[in-house]
Amino acid sequence: MMPPRPEAGQAKLIVHIDPDLEAIVPGFLANRRRDLVTIEGCLKQGDLNTIGLLGHRMKGDGGGYGFDQISTIGNDLEQAVTRQDGPSIEKQVALLKEFLTRVEVVYARS
C-alpha cells in the first residue's frame, strides 16, 4: 500500500544536516514537538512568558542543529510575545507546526 501523498503545499521540507549530528537531531526535533504542545497550552492559558522563553531558546538552538528556520520562527515568536501581538504569535505557532509536520532530514556533508 502506498503512503498517502502530501496535499498541495504540504510537500516535504528537505533540510540537509551534517551526519555528525545524526545521533542528536531526532531528540532535538522531538523536543521542539513537545515545545509546540506546551506553547499551544500556554496560548489557551494566556501564558506569554513561557511562550517567549521557548521562542528565545528556539532562536538560539535551531541554527546550531542546522535548522535555521526554527531559529527564525523562535526569534519571530519571541518578538511577537514582546509586542503582545496575539495574531503574530498564532502565526508563528502555525509556522512551527507546519515546519515540524513537513520537515525531512537528509544527512549529508555540505
Domain annotation covers residue 6: no
Backbone angles phi, psi at 87, to 5 degrees: -60, -40
| pTM score | 0.89
pLDDT digits (tens, 9 = 90+) for 34-73: 999 999 999 999 999 999 999 999 999 999 999 999 999 9
**Residues of the domain holding 38:** 14-107
Contacts of 60 (CB under 8 A, 6+ apart): 71, 74
Domain annotation covers residue 4: no
Cα four-point dihedral sign 93, 76, 24, 102? positive
Query: Domain tally for the chain?
Result: 1
